[in-house]
């Protein structure tokens, strides 16, 4: 039996945020953002120096983009940077 889940109201949605990390993610990133952004939840995309235009495409869809250009670019750093941005 599936648990009953109440829909989130506007107050609770404002308290949520999603961090998406990536590098040269192309269509996978676009599909993810096209699903997430209409939910009204703040979406932070942390880009690790993509060369395929991922950061610009994410911006065009309405995501808040943080670009990592310096230092070691790891998944952990991307997640932490996105968390701090939220």
pLDDT (tens digit per residue) in 24-69: 998 999 999 999 998 888 999 999 999 999 999 999 999 999 999 8
CATH fold for the domain made of 17-85:
Rossmann fold (3.40.50)
Q: Report the candidate in 54, 18, 11, 14 with the shortest Cα–Cα distance to residue 35.
A: 18
Find how far residue 21's CA is from the centre of its chain.
6
Give the start-to-end residue ranges of the domains of the chain: 17-85
Q: Residue 29 in contact with residue 44, Cβ under 8 Å? A: no
Is the whole model's pTM more than 0.75, yes or no? yes
| E strands present in 1-86 | 17-22, 42-47, 64-67
């Amino acid at each position: 039996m599936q648990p009953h889940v109440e829909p989130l109201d506007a107050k609770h949605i404002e308290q949520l945020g999603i961090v998406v990390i990536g590098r040269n993610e192309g269509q996978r990133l676009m599909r993810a953002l096209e699903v997430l952004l209409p939910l009204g939840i703040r979406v932070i995309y942390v880009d690790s120096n993509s060369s395929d235009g991922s950061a610009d495409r994410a911006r065009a869809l309405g995501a808040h983009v943080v670009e990592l250009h310096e230092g070691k670019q790891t998944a952990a750093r991307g997640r932490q940077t996105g968390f701090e941005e939220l």
